[in-house]
Every structure is written in structure tokens, then in C-alpha cells.
Amino acid sequence: MIWIFDSGLWWLSVRKELAKLMPDQNFFYIADSAYCPYWRRSPEELQERCRKLTDFLIGQWNCDIIVVACNTATAAAIEVLRSEYSIPFVWMEPAIKPALLHSKTWTVGVLATYWTFKWALYHRTLTEFQWNVKVIEQIWDGLVELVEQNKTESEEAKELLTKYLTPMIESNIDHIVLWCTHYPFLIPMIEKILEEKKVWDKIIVINPAPAVALQTQRVLKALEQHNKQKKENIFYSTWDEKILKNFVENIINEFPEQHKHTTNTKNFKFNHLNI
């Protein structure tokens, strides 16, 4: 059984990739919307919050592995979690390595939240692989909130994205690293902007979620964990489970295993988590 938690509703970017590789697995989710956005919290506060979420998860029946589907939580708390708990964790790795290795213009852009850029592993990756590649870092203030409100196609989202992307495009980047699990849902708008600026065929957008799914699959295989239970989808929200339920119902077609198991949410369970 795989448990996933994120700072809000948009762990789906990671969950979609997990389900492609492991459609028969049971997935349980926590949307910690009560504390969203995480990047506004201090590292100490995030560490304590992640402890509370982890304590809840390991208290549940048959929790095999926890996926920390949030870059900010990973940056602030993963070392603490790994040192204090014996259960396996999978976390968000800095997705900048492939951009640095394959850049032909020697310039790449990284889009992330404030604390993510402070993460030591990010800086170690830069030290090891940056060489002469110029890295343009941009904090995408305001976009997490828009994604949480399902406004990824709004004029407000387009305006903010254009503001953040334009300096990168003018600097001749050839890769954009989306280092936040909320950001992949902005890819259609990003591609629209790149097309309008006539650079859509010159810039590669990197989504870190597929690599996280592959690592989760590797860990489960190493543990020799195989789902033998009834297929389940259980969702928790620390805010309003009705919002979570509406969200899942609106994106039900995004679940790649639905053709195999169910075509509606009648077998889905939605719960409020008061922690």
C-alpha cells in the first residue's frame, strides 16, 4: 500500500505517474490543504508537520511506503524523516541534473518555491553537474495558490507565467525544470506561452514526477511488496473533504487505471483528517 502526502490537492501529478507503472496498487492520499502553501512555513514548522502526517500514516494498516510528493516538504524535512522513522520514503529529487547534462545553449531555467532553492541537495547537484551552464532560478510566487484553486487556464495564471518565463526565454534557455508538484498542471499554459513566443520547439519542459514513480516502483520491488488486497482509493483532506471530493470527481478521467476498475467515484472514500 502506497501512501502519498502533499501540501494540497495536487499530488495528482505524482500519483498519475505512479498509477501508470503500478495500476493494481492501493493508493491512499493526504491533501494537507489546511497548511497550504508549505513554502510560506519555516523549515522547523514543516518538519513538525511532516512528523504529524507520518505518525498518522504509519499508524494505518499495511503502510508499506510513503511518498513525500512535495518539493518544499522534501527540502525541509526529508532528512529528519529518514533519520527518525524506519519506513521507506520516496521523495522529490532535484530534476535539474538532466537539464544541466543535456543543455545545448548552456542556459537552463529552474522554477521552484523559496525553500526548495535552499535545499542542500540542490546545491550539491549544481556543484557536481553545473560546469559552465548558466542556471536562472525563479520563485513562482502565487502560482501554487492558483493551481489549488484550479485556475491553471485563467488569465491571471497566464499573466504570472508570462512574467516569470519571459526573462528566461530572453536568456536563451533550452530547458525549464518544474520543481514543484503543483507546476506540471501549468504545462498546457506554459506550452501556449512558448508557442506564442515562437520557442515551443526549442525548450524542453522537465516534469520530475515520472522519476519519482520509477523510484517508488524500485523500492517496492526491493521490499517484495505486492498488493493482494481489494483495489482501494482513500482520500484524506486536512481542510474540507467536500472540496477534495469535488476535485477528484472533476479529474476522474485523469486516473489512468479507471478503465480497468471503475468509471465513477462511488467506491472512493473521502475523509477529513484533523491534525
Give me the active site residues, please: 70, 180
118 grid coordinates: 535552499
Cβ(31)–Cβ(9) below 8 Å: yes
Cβ(19)–Cβ(261) below 8 Å: no
Best CA proximity match to 71, nearest among 107, 95, 99: 95
Give Cα 91 to chain centroid, integer Å. 9
Q: Is the peptide bond before 23 cis (omega within 30 degrees of 0)?
A: no
Q: Could you say which DSSP state residue 62 is in?
A: T
90 grid coordinates: 520516496
Geometric angle at alpha carbon 191, from 185 and 9, rounded to 5°: 5
Q: Could you say which DSSP state residue 26 is in?
A: -
- The values of phi and psi at residue 32, to 5°, are -85, 60
Q: Tell how strand 269-272 and strand 134-139 pair up.
A: unpaired
